[in-house]
Amino acid sequence: MRLKAEHIEHFYAQEHILHDINLEIESSCITAIVGESGSGKTTLLAILSSLLRASSGSVHYDDISLEAIKNIDEFRKKNIGFVFQFHYLIDYLNIEENITLNALDATKSSALLKALGIEHLASRYSDEVSGGERQRAAIARALINDPTFVFADEPTGNLDTKNAIGVFELFKEFKKTGFVVATHDKKIIDYADTIIEMEDGFVKNIYTQ
């Protein structure tokens, strides 16, 4: 599947956040959206992932416009996963229950827990595991429905270097899923297939490696 954004503009009140964004992102790749705070990368990620509607322009998944999708929640469940900086695990559910909360097939959780090295934590709660382990649980939750794309907003912002690198290495292992990561963490550049460089709401450069 190909994700395509055309002529994306976005305003918050009178503030012009994004300026004529045009780009294409392939699934099965890691795409990093990088830039300083205020560059527009988080807003762009929210628009690409369907969490925010652009002021103007369009976003397509293959030939399907997000605006034409009648049941966006169902579309997200089948096609999109999310990973955030602060995990957003539900504290009264254990790790496995968090992962399977919106699962189409909860039986996939065992394989995911094992693949992410946290199978021994399945019955623990989020306050009983480390930050890196919580982030792995959040990644498992994002992957439980085999999405085409996982969107991650500063997924390593609260992690030390070792755990941050571990997250990026995990992304590489799931080759059928495309990861789109908004971050200021320059370490992801070593793991990304495509880098989209943002500056003051513009796409300054796009390059592949």
The average pLDDT across 132-140 equals: 88
Q: 20-54: per-residue pLDDT in tens?
A: 999 999 888 999 999 988 899 999 999 999 999 99
The pLDDT value recorded for residue 56 is 96
The pLDDT value recorded for residue 180 is 96
DSSP the chain: -EEEEEEEEEEETTEEEEEEEEEEEETTSEEEEE--TTSSHHHHHHHHTTSS--SEEEEEETTEEGGG-S-HHHHHHHHEEEEETT----TTSBHHHHHHTT-S-GGGHHHHHHHTT-GGGTTSBGGGS-HHHHHHHHHHHHHTT--SEEEEESTTTTS-HHHHHHHHHHHHH-TTSEEEEEES-GGGGGT-SEEEEEETTEEEEEEE-
- Cβ contacts of residue 24 below 8 Å, gap of 6+? 2, 3, 4, 5
Q: Which two tokens stand for residue 29?
A: 């790749």
Return the CATH fold of 2-208: Rossmann fold (3.40.50)
End-to-end CA distance of the chain: 20
- Cβ contacts of residue 64 below 8 Å, gap of 6+? none
- Cβ contacts of residue 66 below 8 Å, gap of 6+? 50, 53, 58, 59, 60, 72
pLDDT band at 110 (very low <50, low <70, confident <90, very high): very high
What whole-number percentage of the chain has pLDDT above 90? 57
Q: b vs e for 32-58, b when ≥16 Cβ sit within 10 Å of the residue's Cβ?
A: bbbbeeebbbbbbbbbbbbeeebeebe
Instruction: Using the predicted structure, report yes or no on whether residue 159 has a pLDDT greater than 80.
Output: no
Least confidently predicted of 7-11, 71-75, 161-165, 178-182? 161-165
Q: 60-108: per-residue pLDDT in tens?
A: 999 899 989 999 999 998 899 998 877 788 999 999 999 998 888 999 8
Give me the chain's average pLDDT, please.
Answer: 91
CB count within 10 Å of CB 121 equals 21
The pLDDT value recorded for residue 184 is 85
Least confidently predicted of 14-18, 103-107, 192-196? 103-107
Q: 117-127: per-residue pLDDT in tens?
A: 899 999 999 88
pLDDT: is 209 or 17 the higher one? 17
The pLDDT value recorded for residue 28 is 86
pTM of the predicted model, to two decimals?
0.92
Candidates 17, 22, 18; CA nearest to 7 is: 22
- Domain ranges for the chain: 2-208
The average pLDDT across 109-114 equals: 90
